[in-house]
Chain A
Amino acid sequence: MRSTVSLPSETRSSELIRLGCVCLAALGLVGIGPLCLGEYSVDILIRSFLFGAVAVTLDILWGYTGILSFGQSAFFAIGAYAGGLIFTHLGLTPLDAILAVGIGLIVASLLGALVGWLAFGYGVSDLYVSVATLVLCVVVVRILYAGGTFTGSSSGLSGFTTFDLSMPVWFALTGSFLVIVAALGWLLVHSDAGTLFVSIRENEQRARYFGLATGRIKIALFAAAAAIAALAGFGYASYTDVVAPDLANFKFGTAIVIWVALGGRATLLGPAIAAVLIDFISAYLSGSLPFIWELLVGVVFIAVIVVMPQGLGPGLARGVRSMLPLRSVAPSSAAQLSIASQPVITAQSDHGPSAIAVTALSRHYGSLRVLDDISFTAQAGELVSLVGPNGAGKTTLIRCISDGTERSGGDVAILGCSIGRLTPEYCARLGLGRKFQTPTVFEALTVAQSLRIARARIDPPSLWRRADTINLPQAALQVVQATGLAEQLANPVRSLSHGGKQALELAMVLAAEPRVLLLDEPTAGLTKAERRLIGGILVDLVARHRLCILLIEHDLDFVRQISSRIIVLHQGRIVLDGDVATVVGSELVRTIYAGEPQAIGAMT
């Protein structure tokens, strides 16, 4: 069964045809380049192409995924030294060459994975990867210096025998390498996996709570980028016949960052072109204007960062496009929504373990006890509302249930599985969905892409394809259609209203098909009609799909209408836990919640 919602969108095949044409044209240029250019230019460009490929890897890391690494130079140097060392100390049989490439790739990707493991652990600051990659550069340079005659110390290795190829062949090889890396990179960033990278850059926390192991994804990406940089480094050593510790220097690492920033972050082609051009011009001018040129690059770099952080590439591209009579390309987006087949939950599952079981849970910050001795259970098919004045610890309780690293004591089990010390993505995999108090969405993605990401754990994203349908469970589809999001699938989330973002986050959480739903003020900022609608959907989820919902709400009318049970939290303790009538009629609640008994009259 398919929904009727569809969008005009550019088909994937026409995109691929365009990519193919651009690649063929680029390969053609690489083929005829040596015929038109002077020998010196060819010599320089062979090297520049390799730098261009490294810039592409950094753009995927930094521009798309938000990982600012200063250390691509270290991985480049590892690849280069793998070549240099093997060719110097072993020789140049085909076996040696394969060994050199293999060692370079393995060492670089293992080291990349190690740095990634350090930098992308749960709770480690975003800045840490920049710090760690700076340190990596320093360490690699020092090791190369300390290597004595084995690594050639400060002067490096040179004059080793390397492949005997003519310049045009080298030009074709490194040029094709750049084209292939850029094309594969293009496929990757325009695939569903690429959307996932952007979602990590935009809001890693939100992605984690959809059950996506963002840390592992980043480690894998970082290791892959390290391997490609090492491959480029191997090419560099094989062609230039020189390797020096400066290759690993963080100055080279920051030069790569400069190329990406100048060419335009998250444009892929911009950084590649900027790297090739800047390196090419540098080589030309280093003879006549050695310091002036670097000075100029520095000044332009500052100006670009301050005035046009999107880089020079996008501005230039817009200018060119406005001069050419090209049709404007509609933003592409997943075209259709369809209903996912959901497992039918029978009433039998009610006899299983409790959906949520909290035992003696506590949370304190130093001597401040925010939650103390909280115990309750909630079953499938229950809609439990959590009420209490501001500062009662409601949101903290939700956080402790959805993130095993949060609580100070006690235990939480979801559907019979203890969450132990699991981080949010693994708690989510137990069947938990969480909506945050303030709308937490991916600003730079479109509505359709956001829904796609919310489904990424269930429908794993492809590394090179983009799905043209999104399977949504009935409830998510209902929210999307009823709140008008269905008409805005191709719009960027940034352009949605506050209410639109609230509805989108709820739809995303529902799209992940949770069995236990934690909702922190899901209807704040919505209109009365939308609120009624959401209320209806929640009741339906509980009654028909046997979900368990734990809801924080301040609107007591709303709570009364939809809840099957209410828990009252006050100063970090549960003061009342009972059915709606008991709690609403309770004198204690009136005193706590409204401050004075008569004020609650309107509610009852």
Chain B
Amino acid sequence: MINLLLDILTTAGILFIVSIGLLIVFGVQKIINFAHGAFLTIGGYVALLVTGAHFSPWLAPPVALLAGALIGAIVERVIVRPLYNRPLDAILATWGLSIVVVQLITIGFGRGVQFVTSPVSGAIHVFGADYSLYRLIFLGIAIVLGLAVGLLLRSTRLGLVARAVILNENLARSLGIDSDLVRFMTFVVGAGLASLAGALLTPLLSVDPTMGVTWLLNAFMLVMVSGTSLISLMLACVVLGGAQVVISTFGNPVLGGLTIVVLAAILLRLRPTGFARA
């Protein structure tokens, strides 16, 4: 029972970390970054490089964050900026980018599955059950990250300006807010967070050029049902992630893999605002 509960919580944590970058970009830019999965893959390979060069595995996530942000900055300028007014085309162009990234990684690293050294291993005894230490650390990171991004939005000037752009971009613009800069910054942060998520995932999963695609779909559906709110995203991760764990454990793993996308699609149809307040 404790195990199941921990499974639900840590799965929700993983989903939250994977989706948060996409949510931020969607909130401000109103576009869906379909290269989100590719940035995640980049993070995974950064972790592979860092640990391959015998640096501490703890170094991998921050390096991935920086690398993702840097690449995100270039991508924003070249591909995303011309498409501010064409949100559907932005989905397509970022998907094209994702194809390019996957092919570049395949050329550079090969198609095969690779493994990254984990910073910690083994299980820990909590609440009378043995549970994977890394998954628990992951949950902690998710909580810290959620609080950090929430604080960033609540109490910094950038956050204030970003919230203004989320609520009404034209009005924000007319008040002298450089909304292009806000868009740029959020895309950079979103891309960085995606890569961070990729690096954080590596001790749990193997690395391969298409690792981002499955995560992209789950993250996309979670963001669709969360709108632009961090709280809704948290709720969506716990409810849908929980449903996935429960169905995989007691039902059938095939159905479990479909849980998030199918439930989210049904929820969106019944209640277009999803978990966000109407």
User: Which residues of chain A have a CB within 8 Å of any CB of chain B?
Assistant: 68, 118, 121, 123-125, 127-128, 130-132, 134-135, 138-139, 142-143, 145-146, 250-251, 254, 257-258, 261, 291-292, 294-295, 297-299, 301-302, 305-307, 309
Given contacts A132-B265, A135-B221, contact A295 B103 (CB under 8 A): yes
Q: Across the two chains, which residue of chain B brings its CB closest to A295?
A: B103
A291 with B272: CB separation less than 8 A: no
A302 with B97: CB separation less than 8 A: yes
B100 with A305: CB separation less than 8 A: no
Q: Which residue in B257, B262, B272 is a CB contact (below 8 Å) of A125?
A: B272
Q: Which residue in B99, B106, B220, B224 is a CB contact (below 8 Å) of A301?
A: B99
B258 with A139: CB separation less than 8 A: yes
Residue contacts A-B, CB under 8 angstroms, 28 given: A118-B265, A121-B269, A123-B272, A124-B269, A124-B272, A130-B88, A131-B224, A131-B265, A131-B268, A134-B217, A134-B220, A135-B264, A138-B217, A138-B258, A146-B254, A254-B95, A291-B107, A292-B103, A294-B99, A295-B99, A298-B96, A298-B99, A301-B92, A301-B93, A305-B83, A306-B79, A307-B82, A309-B86
A302 with B103: CB separation less than 8 A: no
- Indicate the member of B99, B220, B268 with the most A CB atoms within 10 Å: B99
Distance (whole angstroms) from the CB of B22 to the closest CB of chain A: 14
Interface string of B3-43 (1 = CB under 8 A from A): 00000000000000000000000000000000000000000
Given contacts A131-B224, A306-B83, contact A118 B261 (CB under 8 A): no
- Indicate the member of B100, B107, B221 with the most A CB atoms within 10 Å: B100
Q: Across the two chains, which residue of chain A brings its CB closest to B253?
A: A146
Task: Report Cα–Cα, A124/B272, bound state, in Å.
Answer: 7
Task: Report Cα–Cα, A301/B88, bound state, in Å.
Answer: 14
Q: Is B147 an interface residue (CB 8 A)?
A: no
B268 with A305: CB separation less than 8 A: no
Distance (whole angstroms) from the CB of B260 to the closest CB of chain A: 10
Q: Is B104 an interface residue (CB 8 A)?
A: yes
A135 with B265: CB separation less than 8 A: yes
- Indicate the member of A134, A294, A305, A309 with the most B CB atoms within 10 Å: A305
8 A-B pairs besides A128-B272, A291-B106 with CB distance below 8 A are A131-B268, A291-B107, A294-B99, A294-B103, A298-B96, A302-B93, A302-B100, A305-B92
Given contacts A124-B272, A305-B89, contact A295 B258 (CB under 8 A): no
Distance (whole angstroms) from the CB of B208 to the closest CB of chain A: 14
Counting contact residues on chain B (CB < 8 A from A), the size range is 20 to 34
Interface residues of B in 212-244 (CB under 8 A from A): 213, 217, 220-221, 224
Task: Report Cα–Cα, A434/B97, bound state, in Å.
Answer: 44
Q: Which residue in B107, B262, B272 is a CB contact (below 8 Å) of A135?
A: B262
Task: Report Cα–Cα, A307/B269, bound state, in Å.
Answer: 34
Task: Report Cα–Cα, A489/B256, bound state, in Å.
Answer: 57
Distance (whole angstroms) from the CB of B18 to the closest CB of chain A: 16
B265 with A142: CB separation less than 8 A: no
A295 with B265: CB separation less than 8 A: no
Distance (whole angstroms) from the CB of B71 to the closest CB of chain A: 14
The main secondary structure of chain B at its interface with chain A is: helix
Q: Across the two chains, which residue of chain B brings its CB closest to A119?
A: B269
Interface string of B251-278 (1 = CB under 8 A from A): 0101001100110110011001000000
Q: Across the two chains, which residue of chain A brings its CB closest to B252?
A: A146
Q: Across the two chains, which residue of chain A brings its CB closest to B107?
A: A291
Distance (whole angstroms) from the CB of B192 to the closest CB of chain A: 21
Task: Report Cα–Cα, A125/B272, bound state, in Å.
Answer: 8
Please name all residues of chain A whose beta carbon is closer than 8 Å to the beta carbon of B217 when the two chains form the complex. Answer: 134, 138, 250
Please name all residues of chain A whose beta carbon is closer than 8 Å to the beta carbon of B89 when the two chains form the complex. Answer: 305-306, 309
Please name all residues of chain B whose beta carbon is closer than 8 Å to the beta carbon of A251 when the two chains form the complex. Answer: 213
Q: Which residue in A121, A302, A307 is a CB contact (below 8 Å) of B96?
A: A302
B104 with A118: CB separation less than 8 A: no
Q: Across the two chains, which residue of chain B brings its CB closest to A297?
A: B99
Q: Across the two chains, which residue of chain A brings its CB closest to B213?
A: A251
Q: Which residue in B106, B221, B269 is a CB contact (below 8 Å) of A118?
A: B269
Please name all residues of chain B whose beta carbon is closer than 8 Å to the beta carbon of A295 when the two chains form the complex. Answer: 99-100, 103-104, 107
Task: Report Cα–Cα, A292/B268, bound state, in Å.
Answer: 39
Interface residues of B in 94-115 (CB under 8 A from A): 95-97, 99-100, 103-104, 106-107
Please name all residues of chain B whose beta carbon is closer than 8 Å to the beta carbon of A123 when the two chains form the complex. Answer: 272
Q: Across the two chains, which residue of chain B brings its CB closest to A293?
A: B103
Please name all residues of chain B whose beta carbon is closer than 8 Å to the beta carbon of A127 when the two chains form the complex. Answer: 88
Task: Report Cα–Cα, A134/B92, bound state, in Å.
Answer: 13
A306 with B82: CB separation less than 8 A: yes
Distance (whole angstroms) from the CB of A269 to the closest CB of chain B: 21
Please name all residues of chain A whose beta carbon is closer than 8 Å to the beta carbon of B252 when the two chains form the complex. Answer: 146
